[in-house]
Amino acid sequence: MKRQLKMIAGVLVFISGVLGGNALYKWLSEHSEGHVVAQDMVSKHRPDFSLPDLAGKMHSISEWDGKVTVVNFWATWCPPCKREMPTFIELQQLYGARGVQFVGIAIDNKEQVIAYADNAGITYPTLLGDDNAVTISRSFGNRLDALPYTVIINRKGDIALVQRGELTRELAEATIKSLL
């Protein structure tokens, strides 16, 4: 009898594990890092916004209409944000002449952003925002206020890709090339 109870308990534990694992997999798929999370934003027209650059000059996202625009929300205290910057700098240099424009939106202290941008050699426009940038990020589908958060916009102004978390060079470059 004890052996049968152990077998039944074992089967129940196994079934619970499978069901729990499936539930966890579904939850992670819906909430994990990646462009799948904000898939509902793809093909929608990009929101309008304006923010100041590091010198205080206001810029509207519409300045880059007609270009493939990569909008990256980041902060100086965010390690994955810092890891993707060299790739963004390189891709801006490689594809800028072909109509690609990276735009960084820093959700951070102005002095820290200026120091970091100078040190990192950021060659593309960096806009500053705090609460405004968080609101803008949300309008691009960033419901969890994640950083980094990157949106790639096609030449027509429609969202082609949304990536919560670090954007790999492979995905960034493949998306950019498909939009050129």
User: Per residue in 29-64, pLDDT tens?
Assistant: 344 444 444 566 776 789 899 999 999 999 999 999
What percentage of the chain carries pLDDT values higher than 90?
70
169: number of Cβ within 10 Å: 13
How far is Cα 107 from Cα 74, in angstroms, rounded to an integer?
6
In this prediction, residue 13 has a pLDDT band, given cuts at 50, 70 and 90, of very low
Give the Å distances, CA to CA, from 61 to 79, 94, 126, 141: 26, 21, 12, 16
Alpha helix segments (H runs only) across 72-130: 79-95, 110-120
- For helices 79-95 and 110-120, the axis angle rounded to 10 degrees is 50
Give the single-character DSSP code of 108: S
pLDDT at position 14 over 60: no
pLDDT at position 23 over 60: no
How far is Cα 25 from Cα 32, in angstroms, rounded to an integer?
10
Q: What would the pLDDT profile of 126-142 be if each residue is shown by its tens digit?
A: 999 878 899 999 999 99
Q: What is this structure's pTM? A: 0.78
In this prediction, residue 22 has a pLDDT band, given cuts at 50, 70 and 90, of very low
3-state secondary structure of 53: strand
